[in-house]
Copies of this chain bind each other. A is one copy, B any other.
Amino acid sequence: MKHDKIIIGHGSGGRLTNNLIKDMFVKYFDNEILDMQGDSSVLTVEGNTLSFTTDSFVVNPVFFPGGNIGNLAIAGTVNDLAVSGAKPLYLSAGFIIEEGLPLDDLETIVKTMAGEAKAAGVKIVTGDTKVVERGKADKIFINTTGIGVLPPSRKHIGSGKNIVAGDKILINGAVGDHGMAVMAKRNELNISSDIKSDCAALNGLIAGVFEAAGEGVKFMRDATRGGLSAVLTEMFEGKNFGVEIEEDAVPVHEAVAGMCELLGFDPFHVANEGKVVIVVDEKSADAVLRAMHRHPLGKEAAIIGEVTAEHKGKGHIITAVGGRRIIDMPAGELLPRIC
């Protein structure tokens, strides 16, 4: 289906976003380094390898259980750097603020950003502030762009080009918390829940994974918009291998499973803000799992599947009763403005 106008689905992180990126940004910005898929670009500057990534945050509501747009903006960009294998160092912060935003709200957000940056060990070093008239933005949008240093031995982590059949697929905990926490908070739904966003900077956990497995780490990606399904699809699509995920092995909190069922969502499609999908060689899998279990953000980590020689370019979920379901990106927009 062709569109002549931007629709909400173009921002979903799913198929429509993917097509827009290919047909528009990649087409015109064409260069050998460009990466518009939401993770980091690898740059060589004066002989050093850097990771560089950008993300704009438009989450609605700005304050939600477990966080606000401020820690989301820091954690999101720190995570994009960390999953590329880089040590996150410096962030910029660009604010677009709607006239009328209470200064107290801005102060809360800015304090949260400062705290999250400190905890993650990164510095916010440059910024910009724009104000637009009432009704021309929605409270506040924040762009964060980050720079990290990437050991050259980890250059392949973002692309996953070393993935082979037999590799194991892990995740550091339960999926769907962020999406359902934000959804429950929105005024239009009369749902009360205890679900909290999983929003967190993962660079500490990821450093532990590299310590445990070194060169055994093949691929990492944080599962944000489009959820676990989008990450897996980007990983296997067009590749010389397949993916099999054991449905029962993927942690999902009970409240999230219940809310997803109620609303007709697939928890594998729902956004996270503190979950990383990691592919490691078979012999490193247990060590990586143990390393994650030792970290506060990896208590519920699990091995959820493996890379297969069969079904090249395809992914399947193996259900509890042994059935097979195709893994694909969400087609349209499930949850607008989740991040």
Taking a contact as CB atoms under 8 Å apart, the answer to whether B93 and A54 are in contact is: yes
Chain A interface main SS type: mixed
Q: How far is the CB of A75 from chain B (nearest CB, A)?
A: 15
Query: Within 8 Å of chain B (Cβ to Cβ): is A251?
Result: no
A182 to B7, CA, bound (A): 28
Interface residue A104 (Cβ < 8 Å from any Cβ of B)? yes
User: Is A194 in contact with chain B by the CB < 8 A criterion?
Assistant: no
A101 within 8 A of B: yes
Binds B, one of A127-135, A167-175, A273-281: A127-135
Is A53 interfacial (CB-CB < 8 Å)?
A: yes
Name A's B-contacting residues (CB within 8 A): 3-12, 17, 20-21, 24-25, 28-31, 33-36, 38, 40-41, 43, 45-48, 50, 52-58, 60, 89-90, 92-104, 106-107, 110-111, 113-114, 117, 123-133, 135-138, 141, 143, 145, 147, 149, 333, 336-337
Cβ–Cβ < 8 Å partners of A127 in chain B: 21, 25, 29, 34, 36, 54
Give 21 CB contacts A-B under 8 Å.
A5-B102, A5-B103, A6-B131, A10-B129, A12-B131, A25-B93, A28-B111, A29-B113, A34-B126, A36-B126, A45-B90, A46-B149, A52-B92, A54-B128, A130-B337, A131-B333, A137-B138, A137-B141, A143-B143, A145-B145, A147-B147
Chain B residues in 8 Å Cβ range of A6: 97-103, 106, 131
Query: What's the minimum C-beta distance from A46 to chain B, rounded to whole angstroms?
Result: 4
What are the residues of chain B within 8 A of A92 when measuring CB–CB? 52-54, 145
Considering the complex, give the chain B residue whose CB is closest to the CB of A337.
B132
Q: Is the beta-carbon distance between B145 and A58 smaller than 8 angstroms?
A: no
Among B7, B54, B125, B135, the residue within 8 A (CB) of A34 is B125
Give Cα distance in the complex from A43 to B194, angstroms: 42
* Closest chain B residue, CB of each to CB of A90: B43
* Nearest CB in chain B: distance from A47 CB, A: 8
How many copies make up the complex? 2
Closest B residue, CB atoms, query A31: B123
CB distance from A280 to the nearest CB of B (A): 26
A74 to chain B, nearest CB (A): 11
Q: Which residue of B lies closest to A76 (CB)?
A: B128
- The distance in angstroms between the C-alpha atoms of A333 and B87, with both chains bound, is 40
Is the CB–CB distance between B137 and A99 below 8 Å? Answer: no
Q: Which partner residue on chain B sits nearest A115 by CB separation?
A: B28
The answer to whether residues A34 and B124 also contact, given A5-B101, A52-B90 and a CB cut-off of 8 A, is: yes
- Chain B hits for A58, CB < 8 A: 96, 130, 132, 137
Given A28-B110, A56-B128, 9 more pairs with CB closer than 8 A? A24-B106, A29-B110, A34-B124, A43-B147, A45-B89, A50-B147, A56-B143, A57-B130, A131-B333
Nearest chain-B residue to A12 (Cβ)? B131
Residue in chain B with minimal CB distance to A225: B130
Q: Is the CB of B54 within 8 A of A45?
A: no
* Residues on B with beta carbons closer than 8 Å to the beta carbon of A126: 34-36, 40-41, 52-54
Given A5-B101, A102-B4, verify A54-B24 contact (CB < 8 Å).
Answer: no
Contacts of A50 in B (CB 8 A): 45, 147
Nearest Cβ on chain B to A28's Cβ, whole angstroms = 4
